[in-house]
Structure 1
Amino acid sequence: MAENAYREIITKAVCGKGKKFSQSAHTVTPTHKPSNILGCWVINHKYKTTYHKDAVIVEGTYDINTWYSFNNNTKTEVVCETVNYRDRVPLTLRDKQVVSDHVDVACRPLQEPNCLEAKISPNGNRVVAQVEREFLVEVIGETKVKVRVDDDGLVEAEDEEENDEELDKELDSLDSEFLTDDDKEDE
């Protein structure tokens, strides 16, 4: 292999990846003392991400809607509470060849926030909702990659003056009377 066998190319690529599953217990306070939980669901999920060298921070909110009965199961109501969360997603795969401090973060939920279980708290005045969520994050930045170069494909730069002299010789050798008067009349 010659000294020119490899080249370094700077390109944008995935420079880090991470995944995190988490569960949270949220306490929802209804307006009446609940008799039974009839349903619980999570909606309006919003989040944003920030990059911190070895992890991505995912911060967001979602609404927990809890449908419950009260007054000895004679009436029902839905209570909605917005909750905040903050997940630190560690980067398990990291590229050490990153050449720029500016990176982009791509984040997508593998599991949107979802209520696993909702039950009445031991004191009987609140509802405890168990919520799960999972995120996959990718950090995209400029990195160096090495590629092998075909030595036969390398071309040495030629001397321009030598090329100009050869071109002048070829032009001088052209027949300026290439088209005769007879040929011009046929046209």
Structure 2
Amino acid sequence: MSQSHYREILAKAVVAKGRKYTKSSHTITPAHHPSSILGCWIINHKYEARKIGKKVEIRGTFEINTWYSTQHNTKTELACEKVQYSDVISLKYRDPDVQDDEEVIAKAVQQPNCIEASISPDGQQILVNVEREFFVEVIGETMICVAVNPDGCNDDDDWGSDLEDEFEDLRPDFMVDFEDE
């Protein structure tokens, strides 16, 4: 095909991707000395992503709720702490000549989750290990090259011609006038 049978089309596409798994440790100081850990949950996870250079930064928050016993396992308490985090994810680009690549889609593959909660060696704090994982895609404008059929799209000219046959069996007297009811 000659050069005139090709067209360049500007299109939005996924131009870069990245993924990151993170483990983090957090120390919670409860109101009372813990005797044992009864449960630990991560709730209210919120995050936003933005592109910075050739990386994506995800900033977010979540709450760690730890249920624990105190006073030699005779009472229970709940310790709640809000945590802020920042994860930087490297991107792998498919096309180095990308334009307008500021749109970021971030998905939490693994929401923040408690791996382990334990009492610190001094017996006064709770140590919580959390895992999370993100997958990001960057949308940008890229150029694609397509071959053009020199004969055009002639095969699409009669795609709706057989519709008339379906209307032959319609009975116009079958319609009911609902205004009489």
Distance in 2 (CA, whole Å) between partners of 1:6 and 1:26 is 57
Kindly, what percent of the aligned residue pairs are identical?
52
Partner residue of 2:42? 42
Say which is worse superposed, 89-98 or 104-113, in terms of deviation. Answer: 89-98
Distance in 2 (CA, whole Å) between partners of 1:99 and 1:54 is 13
| Deviation per residue, 1:73-125 (Å, 9 max, x gap) | 0110001000111000111244223123x521111100000001000011111
Distance in 1 (CA, whole Å) between partners of 2:41 and 2:141 is 41
| Deviation per residue, 1:123-182 (Å, 9 max, x gap) | 11100101000111111111111111223339xxxxxxxxxxxxxxxxxxxxxxxxxxxx
Partner residue of 2:108? 109
Q: Report 1:31-110 matches (<5 A).
A: 31-100=31-100, 103-110=102-109
- Helix, strand or coil at the partner of 2:98: coil
Distance in 1 (CA, whole Å) between partners of 2:95 and 2:135 is 17
Partner residue of 1:17? 17
Distance in 2 (CA, whole Å) between partners of 1:25 and 1:122 is 15
Distance in 2 (CA, whole Å) between partners of 1:59 and 1:72 is 39
Contact kept? 1:103, 1:142, Cα under 8 Å: no
Which amino acid in 1 is paired with 2:56? V
Partner residue of 1:128? 127
Which amino acid in 2 is paired with 1:11? A
| Deviation per residue, 1:60-80 (Å, 9 max, x gap) | 000000000111101100010
Q: How many angstroms does 1:19 deviate by?
A: 0.8
Partner residue of 1:179? none
Q: Which has the higher strand share?
A: 2
TM-score between the two structures when normalised by the length of structure 1 = 0.78
Contact kept? 1:2, 1:151, Cα under 8 Å: no
Q: Is there any run of 5+ residues in structure 2 with no aligned partner, and where?
A: 154-181
Q: How many angstroms does 1:5 deviate by?
A: 2.9
Higher Rg: 1
Partner residue of 2:160? none
Partner residue of 1:150? 149
Contact kept? 1:44, 1:63, Cα under 8 Å: yes
Q: Is residue 6 of structure 1 aligned with residue 19 of structure 2?
A: no
Distance in 2 (CA, whole Å) between partners of 1:8 and 1:95 is 15
Distance in 1 (CA, whole Å) between partners of 2:125 and 2:84 is 18
Distance in 1 (CA, whole Å) between partners of 2:74 and 2:8 is 73
Distance in 2 (CA, whole Å) between partners of 1:99 and 1:6 is 21
Contact kept? 1:99, 1:144, Cα under 8 Å: no
Distance in 1 (CA, whole Å) between partners of 2:150 and 2:134 is 45
Partner residue of 1:27? 27
Q: How many angstroms does 1:51 deviate by?
A: 0.3
